Structure 1
Amino acid sequence: MIAQGMGRGVFRAALALIAGMALMPGGAQAQTAAASPVVPPAAAQGGERFSIQIPKGWKQASRNASGPIETVSYVPDGQSAERWQDMLTIQMVKTPAGAQALPPDQLYAQSQSSYEQACDGVKLGTLQSGRSNGYPSAFWVLGCSKVKSAGYGETAFFRTIQGTAALYMAQWAWRVAPFDTTQGPPLLEDQQKEALTTLQSFQVCDPASRQHPCQPGQ
């Protein structure tokens, strides 16, 4: 069953909307992220940084920066940025001093809108919000029953952290066979566990802040 609260095509469009850009979308046992390498911290303004554990056997597929937006994607060995079934994408959207990004409910609504435009049907999960290392954080799941411009479906787990210097977003996406939205996407429990473990490792910290301290290795 899909985790409650329910790519690059649909996901990139969702991130573009979230970031304020007007773009439109185009069986083995899971390995644990706990034993994986940590991405070298990516520094935003003021020393704030993020870290995340990448699953074993995954590699960087793409990395680009455009203005205030930086994006990096990872796929398993044997897959690529063009031909993938599983993809982890991290995006950092820098915000001017004193500015705040959209609150989680609006980010959630905008990603839903992006999916609705790109997909024949959408499976929408519940927005879950809280705090992570003192920062506002949110999690949700979206399923695309079939991408209108392609013959497959997509499912994605989203996690956002609103830092002081940037909005940080991590997402794990799968390309799957088209599915009925009343049933949900065909994902194995191990696939979901691996994604959730990885997204739980996604953290933001600031070595100069007592409210958002960095742990060894961050």
Structure 2
Amino acid sequence: MIKHLAVKLKSLVLSTGLLLVSSGFVQAQESGAVAHGGEREFYMAFIPGDWHILPRQKQSERYYGEWIPKNQQAENWQDMIILQIFPGQGDESLQDSKRPEKALDRIAAAYKKNCSAMAATDALNDQVNGYWTGFRLIYCAQDLSGSTGEISLFRVTIGRNATYIIQRAFRVPGFELGQKPDPVSAQRLKEAFGIIRQGWICQEKTDRSCPENWAGTFELITSLNPAVYSFDANGKASD
């Protein structure tokens, strides 16, 4: 099963072209999310325009935002994007290439405790705009607290000031690992990977500077809580 998932993750990379995208491509997206990690460091993520954000929350030392399609409800969602930010958990040197994998290992360990059976790929690592990032595909056959299973693609990016995690989750009926057909089609996984790979970090007044035309948006976000916001095609933050 693990080998099968590893092949699947690599095939997603190949099917979407480059592993990651340039910051210029992300800036052209119609809508998305932005999170402030401190010291004017921002993580920008693509969110489809027909999804909406649920009430934002802060738990312990993390902020997070959750998005679902507009035709789904929070109580019984089937598709979700989660953007989490952990302020103070960055890497000032930006040299530790193993940090994303370690974070992904902690995520996999949590799923192992809460799933009847689970499988996960090895981390797939790269750099974007000078920041280390890692991907992992996780299958949870059935949540121990209910009757549903979950398939999720994770991406962890380590900034100077914070760790950023974006997740594309599919909630499905409980299943057997390795069953055919797959609970989530290859096309839907390809689309999911296409979403989470379109994220990047920028930091104002550094060599990894942010888009100048979004200066007003970033100024607003640094002065408000919580630290995760949606933005529209004009870079305007919204609830």
Unaligned runs of 5+ in 2: 12-27, 215-239
Pair 66,80 (structure 1): closer, same or farther in 2 beyond 3 Å: same
Pair 38,215 (structure 1): closer, same or farther in 2 beyond 3 Å: same
Q: What's the offset of the Cα at 1:89? A: 0.2
Q: What's the offset of the Cα at 1:74? A: 0.0
Matched residue type, 1:144: C
Q: What's the offset of the Cα at 1:81? A: 2.5
Q: What's the offset of the Cα at 1:98? A: 6.8
1:38 aligned onto 2:32: yes
Q: Does the aligned pair in 2 maintain the 1:133–1:213 contact within 8 Å?
A: no
1:55 aligned onto 2:48: yes
Distance 2:90 2:9 in 1: 35
Pair 52,155 (structure 1): closer, same or farther in 2 beyond 3 Å: same
Q: Does the aligned pair in 2 maintain the 1:152–1:178 contact within 8 Å?
A: yes
Residues 165-199 of structure 1 deviation map (CA, whole Å, 9 limit, x = unaligned): 11011000011122221337411223112211111
1:143 maps to what in 2? Answer: 139
User: Which structure is higher in helix share?
Assistant: 2
Q: Which runs of 4+ in 1 moved over 6 A?
A: 96-102
Alignment of 1:105-184 (within 5 A): 105-183=101-179
Pair 103,96 (structure 1): closer, same or farther in 2 beyond 3 Å: closer
1:4 maps to what in 2? Answer: 9
Q: What's the offset of the Cα at 1:143? A: 0.5
Distance 1:180 1:72 in 2: 30
Identity %: 23
Q: Aligned Cα RMSD in Å?
A: 2.7
Q: What's the offset of the Cα at 1:80? A: 2.6
Q: Does the aligned pair in 2 maintain the 1:71–1:91 contact within 8 Å?
A: yes
1:28 maps to what in 2? Answer: none
Q: Does the aligned pair in 1 maintain the 2:37–2:86 contact within 8 Å?
A: no
Distance 2:69 2:189 in 1: 15
Residues 135-187 of structure 1 deviation map (CA, whole Å, 9 limit, x = unaligned): 11111011001111111110100001100111011000011122221337411
Distance 1:99 1:164 in 2: 4
TM-score relative to the length of structure 1: 0.77
What secondary structure sits across from 1:153 in the alignment? strand
What secondary structure sits across from 1:78 in the alignment? coil
Q: What's the offset of the Cα at 1:82? A: 2.2
Equivalent residue in structure 2 for 1:74, among 67, 72, 96:
67
TM-score relative to the length of structure 2: 0.70
Distance 1:108 1:49 in 2: 21
Pair 89,130 (structure 1): closer, same or farther in 2 beyond 3 Å: same
Q: What's the offset of the Cα at 1:216? A: 6.0
Query: Number of residues paired by the alignment?
Result: 189
Pair 194,36 (structure 1): closer, same or farther in 2 beyond 3 Å: farther
Pair 105,51 (structure 1): closer, same or farther in 2 beyond 3 Å: closer
Residues 19-61 of structure 1 deviation map (CA, whole Å, 9 limit, x = unaligned): xxxxxxxxxxxxxxx864132x332221110111211310002
Q: Does the aligned pair in 1 maintain the 2:66–2:80 contact within 8 Å?
A: yes
2:200 maps to what in 1? Answer: 203
Residues 100-127 of structure 1 deviation map (CA, whole Å, 9 limit, x = unaligned): 9982232122111111111111121121
Q: Does the aligned pair in 1 maintain the 2:151–2:170 contact within 8 Å?
A: yes
